[in-house]
Structure 1
Amino acid sequence: MEIEITAAASIAVNFAPATTAEEIFQNVRTILATPVYSVPLDRSFGVNAKLLDLPMPVSRAKLAAEIVQAVQKFEPRVEVTRVSFNGEPINGRLQPTVRLRLKE
């Protein structure tokens, strides 16, 4: 099973997901939406938001690597198969979309 998840500014948290897959994908959305250093008891949780200040091509490459590492570390039940970016480079908007596959 593969699914694509796009980073969102706001996330509605479901405290009782119906399936394990729903729980896993919700966890990945949380990882993508959380800046590193913002979680008091785990400062390494999330994705480094400082990468967004770099030039667009550099930011894309480093952010893709950061996303893969963060997902591998914090949600090992999935595998990242692709990271792509949407957005408006003219306005400096960069929105990652991550394709995931559940590990068996």
Structure 2
Amino acid sequence: MDIALIAGANTGNINFAPATEYEEIMQNLRTILATPVYSVPLDRAFGVDMAYVDKPLPIAKAHIESEIVKAIRRYEPRVTVTHITWEGNGEDGALKPKVQVRINGTA
């Protein structure tokens, strides 16, 4: 099963008792992608390192994609990143990664 989501999307309200594993995984992914690394006091490595945001676009994209894959692999091992694309034109700084994942153990 493939799932698409927008990195850095508003995490909304936190549901402490998701009804399904799918909801739990999606919430975890949104949280990982919306959290800058070093911002969580007891786990400074949690999140995505955004140090490359002001670099030239090809360099920033490559580094941020790598950071996204590492963060998801470490903090949500129930999924595998299958593809990352980019939304926006990059001219106004509103470029956002769109991450596609596969839930492990599903077809």
Instruction: Specify if TM > 0.5.
Output: yes
Residue 60 of structure 1 aligns with an amino acid whose one-letter code is K
Structure 2 match to 1:23 = 24
Structure 1 match to 2:59 = 58
Residue 76 of structure 1 aligns with an amino acid whose one-letter code is P
List per-residue Cα deviations over 1:17-71 (Å, max 9, x = no partner): 1101110111011000000000000000000111111111111111111100110
Residue 37 of structure 1 aligns with an amino acid whose one-letter code is Y
Residue 3 of structure 2 aligns with an amino acid whose one-letter code is I
The alignment's TM-score, normalised by the length of structure 2, stands at 0.91
Looking at structure 2, the residues matched to 77 and 9 of structure 1 have their Cα atoms a distance apart, in angstroms, of 20
Contact 2:78 2:103 in 1 (8 A): yes
Which segments of structure 1 move beyond 6 Å, counting only runs of 4 or more? none
SS in 2 for 1:48: coil
Looking at structure 1, the residues matched to 63 and 37 of structure 2 have their Cα atoms a distance apart, in angstroms, of 14
Contact 2:85 2:99 in 1 (8 A): yes
Aligned residues: 104
Looking at structure 2, the residues matched to 84 and 30 of structure 1 have their Cα atoms a distance apart, in angstroms, of 19
- Deviation of 1:9 after TM superposition, in Å, equals 4.5
The more displaced of 72-81 and 5-14 is 5-14
The alignment's TM-score, normalised by the length of structure 1, stands at 0.94
Q: What do you get for the CA RMSD once the two structures are aligned? A: 1.1
Structure 2 match to 1:7 = 7
Unpaired segments of 5 or more residues in structure 2? none
Residue 59 of structure 1 aligns with an amino acid whose one-letter code is A
Unpaired segments of 5 or more residues in structure 1? none
